[in-house]
Amino acid sequence: MDARQRLTRRLPTLPSSPGNKDAQAESEGQAPSTLYRRTLRKVVIKKPTLWSCLFPSIAARREQLWYRMKSEPRGLAFILNNKHFDTMKVRHGSDCDSRNMEHLLKALRFKTVVHRDLTAEEILSEVRKFSLLDHSDYDCCAVVLLSHGNAEAIFGTDGKPVSYSAILQRFDGQHNKALLNKPKLFFMEACRGDITDRGADEFPLLLPFSYQDTEANRQRNYFVPSNMPNICDIYLGFSTVPGYTSWRNSQRGSWFVQSLINVFSEHAAREDLCSLMTRVNQKVALSFESQGGKLTKRKQVPAPVNRLTKKLYFFPEYAR
């Protein structure tokens, strides 16, 4: 017996395919499907116990899909309230927004610090100091910016812009390791342009459908959106969409902050952040409308940007 024959004898006999079994069954006068069914093994799925099905899976699911929000306080919060400017109009109602946001953040168990009337350089300096604080003992951080602005920046009291990108970069993983994998919340109450929303009947287009990036079009001041920093675990709560104004009442504050306070006060104990902000979108869009003057019957809708990777419940112990 040569080596090839010895190797062949050692190999196990492979079972024939269903097609071969059917051919063999037909030659023996049996029904092919009957013979093939006899070769199948019964598969039994092991059922988990009630205990392992409920309690461990719920805890694991929450750990995977929910941010941890158990620290006391929940986190540090930064509020900028720019009301008076060197060359721009006074933001009447901004103090009301600032007080309301401070009370809301304290109710959400944040430790809050408020800064008033900062120049562009001072904004960057204070934001940098805040980002470099020790956030390791907290589960979250929040930043509220109340000022004049445009599509890509807010303004200091000296009229100089501070880009949102420059602010957000202070909170990425390279600048503060303690904020890695933790939710970072930003709420911006500021105009992002001069367009006013006339409502569905006369809705103005932000850009023409045939827009091309030419020198002639750039001189027409069309807004061309730019990319935001590619960082996660961040929620950007813009009060309005790019290119549009953000409305504010001189006594009661801005539509956006009024809606935030109303919605969060009623639903923050049981709903996650994205659900809350959807309610805010609805309230701003349906409950407010400008009155009087040339800019009557104007509307507004917030424009949140969600880069969170989990659900955020401020009070997970009460969540549904």
Just list the catalytic residues: 148, 191
CB-CB contact of 212 with 164 (8 Å): no
Q: Which residues pair with 80 in a beta bridge?
A: 115, 145
Cα of 283 vs its chain's centroid, Å:
19
**Rounded CA gap, 126 and 129, in Å?**
5
Helix (H, G, I), strand (E, B) or coil at 287: helix
3-state DSSP percent of the chain in helix, strand and coil, to 5: 35, 15, 45
**Rounded CA gap, 161 and 268, in Å?**
33
Burial (CB count within 10 angstroms: exposed 0-12, middle 13-18, buried 19+), residue 154: buried
Query: Residues 6 or more apart from 20 whose CB is under 8 A from it?
Result: none
Q: Which residues pair with 244 in a beta bridge?
A: 195
At residue 67, φ and ψ (nearest 5 deg) are -70, 150
**Rounded CA gap, 185 and 110, in Å?**
12
- Write the Ramachandran bin of 293: left for phi over 0, alpha for psi from -120 to 50, otherwise beta: left
Is the peptide bond preceding residue 73 cis, with omega within 30 degrees of 0? yes
Pairing state between β 110-116 and 75-81 = parallel
CB-CB contact of 146 with 82 (8 Å): yes
